[in-house]
Amino acid sequence: MIRSADEMPTTEQANERSKQLDRLTVREIVELMNEEDRTVADSVHRALPSIAAAIEAISAVVERGGRLFYIGAGTSGRLGILDASECPPTFGVDPEMVVGLIAGGEGAITRAIENAEDDTEAGIADIGKLVTSRDAVVGIAASGRTPYVMGALREAARIGALTASLSCNADSPISEEADYPIEVPVGAEIVTGSTRLKAGTATKMVLNMITTATMIRLGKVYGNLMVNVQATNDKLRERVVRIVAKGADCDEQTASKYVLEAGGDARVAILMIKFGVTATRAIEALRLSNGHFGKAINQLSR
pLDDT tens across 118-144, in order?
Answer: 999 999 999 999 999 999 999 999 999
Backbone angles phi, psi at 147, to 5 degrees: -55, -40
Q: Is there a domain that residue 228 lies in?
A: no
Q: Is there a domain that residue 159 lies in?
A: yes
> Do residue 23 and residue 103 come from a single domain?
yes
Q: Is there a domain that residue 192 lies in?
A: yes
Average pLDDT estimate for 58-66: 97
Last-in-domain residue among 217, 246, 274: 217
From 186, 189, 228, 178, select the one nearest 205 (Cα to Cα). 186
From 216, 196, 192, 143, select the one nearest 21 (Cα to Cα). 192
Question: Catalytic residue among 86, 252, 261, 284, which?
Answer: 86
> Do residue 207 and residue 241 come from a single domain?
no
> Do residue 129 and residue 23 come from a single domain?
yes
The per-residue pLDDT for 71 is 98
Q: Is there a domain that residue 142 lies in?
A: yes
> Do residue 104 and residue 250 come from a single domain?
no
- Burial 24-61, CB ≥16 within 10 A → b, else e: eeeeeeeebbeebeeebeebbeebeebbeebbeebbeb
Average pLDDT estimate for 284-299: 95
- Name the residue range of residue 280's domain: 234-301
> Do residue 24 and residue 63 come from a single domain?
yes
Q: Is there a domain that residue 44 lies in?
A: yes
CB proximity list for 194: less than 8 A, separation 6 or greater: none
pLDDT tens across 149-201, in order?
Answer: 999 999 999 999 999 999 999 999 999 999 999 999 999 999 999 999 999 99
> Do residue 40 and residue 102 come from a single domain?
yes
Last-in-domain residue among 190, 217, 244: 217
Q: Is there a domain that residue 3 lies in?
A: no
Cβ-based neighbour number of residue 242 at 10 Å = 14
pLDDT tens across 195-222, in order?
Answer: 999 999 999 999 999 999 999 999 999 9
For residue 113, what pLDDT band results from cuts at 50, 70 and 90? confident
> Do residue 175 and residue 35 come from a single domain?
yes
From 77, 4, 50, 69, select the one nearest 170 (Cα to Cα). 50
pLDDT tens across 85-103, in order?
Answer: 999 999 999 999 999 999 9
Count how many Cα atoms sit within 13 Å of the Cα of residue 229 in the half-sphere of its side chain: 21
Cα Rg of the chain (Å, integer) = 22
> Do residue 113 and residue 260 come from a single domain?
no
Distance CA 220, CA 218 (A): 6
Distance CA 209, CA 285 (A): 28
According to DSSP, the β-strands at 98-102 and 136-140 are unpaired
28 is catalytic: no
Structural domain total, the chain = 2
Q: Is there a domain that residue 257 lies in?
A: yes
Residue 2 has pLDDT above 50, yes or no: no
CATH number of the domain bearing residue 282: 1.10.8.1080
Residue 1 has pLDDT above 50, yes or no: no
Residue 3 has pLDDT above 80, yes or no: no
> Do residue 40 and residue 85 come from a single domain?
yes
> Do residue 132 and residue 19 come from a single domain?
yes
CB proximity list for 149: less than 8 A, separation 6 or greater: 71, 72, 73, 76, 103, 117, 123, 139, 140, 141, 165, 174
Question: Catalytic residue among 16, 36, 96, 117, which?
Answer: 117
> Do residue 266 and residue 293 come from a single domain?
yes
Residue 7 has pLDDT above 80, yes or no: no
Report yes or no: 252 and 242 within 8 Å, Cβ to Cβ.
yes
Edge to edge, the sheet with strand 180-183 lists 98-102, 68-72, 136-140, 162-167, 180-183
117 is catalytic: yes
Last-in-domain residue among 186, 217, 248: 217
Average pLDDT estimate for 41-47: 98
CATH number of the domain bearing residue 30: 3.40.50.10490
What percent of the chain stands above pLDDT 70? 98
> Do residue 72 and residue 135 come from a single domain?
yes
Q: Is there a domain that residue 205 lies in?
A: yes
